[in-house]
Structure 1
Amino acid sequence: MAGQRIFSLSFATLYPLYVTKVERKGHTREELDRVIEWLTGYDADGVQQVISDGADLQTFFAGAPDFNPNASLITGVICGVRVEDIEDPLMQKIRYLDKLVDEVARGKKMASILRA
């Protein structure tokens, strides 16, 4: 299954790509960390620990300290697929994170990104 390959992707590989994306668009790592914390409960130190541990995405989301119950409010299209229609729970969580990173990079207001 193609989806399983992304599940084993190291978060340490993905995080710098997210940082580059938001910084290239004039935003900060702190904004990125804020949306990661909102979604997963990992603070900046927790993210660094996951990176140091070499955790894959499956482990990253399974170990999330406090996955936000309002994540279901994240809607829209990512990679040509509506995030609210993704059936696999892990893939949906990965795409939720992708969507939030895209919103930071596009300069959407933080209150809107965090579904306040």
Structure 2
Amino acid sequence: CVVLGIIIGVAITWQTLRGAIMANIKEFASLRALGVGMGSLRRIVMELSFWVGVVGVAAAIGLTWLLSLFAMSKAVIIALPLPLLIVVGGGLIAIAMVSGLLSMGILKKSQPADLLR
């Protein structure tokens, strides 16, 4: 189940990042036309991936907290030890970073000629 969850998480995050890059392909092409190197563009994509992971972890923390409040109101105890939460949060950020690596191929399509279309 964990492996399947990781595969699905990477696929969904990868497609989301790919869509975000494709939606901004003209901006990436503009940066390339201005002389920004591919290494810098790759760092931008990896930073975007990192922030997607951070937002995902923040959303997961909020939803988990709300779920635990609801469970406590019904006298159900949910045990969420801190080490487990740290591992899961780190895993979510790792999934986002792997998705960013998979999305790098789309940068090759950001040619300055795209600005003329």
Question: TM-score with structure 1 length normalisation?
Answer: 0.28
The one of the two structures with greater contact order (alpha-carbon pairs below 8 A, sep at least 6) is: 2
Would you tell me which structure has more helix in proportion to its own residues? 2
Q: Which has the larger radius of gyration?
A: 2
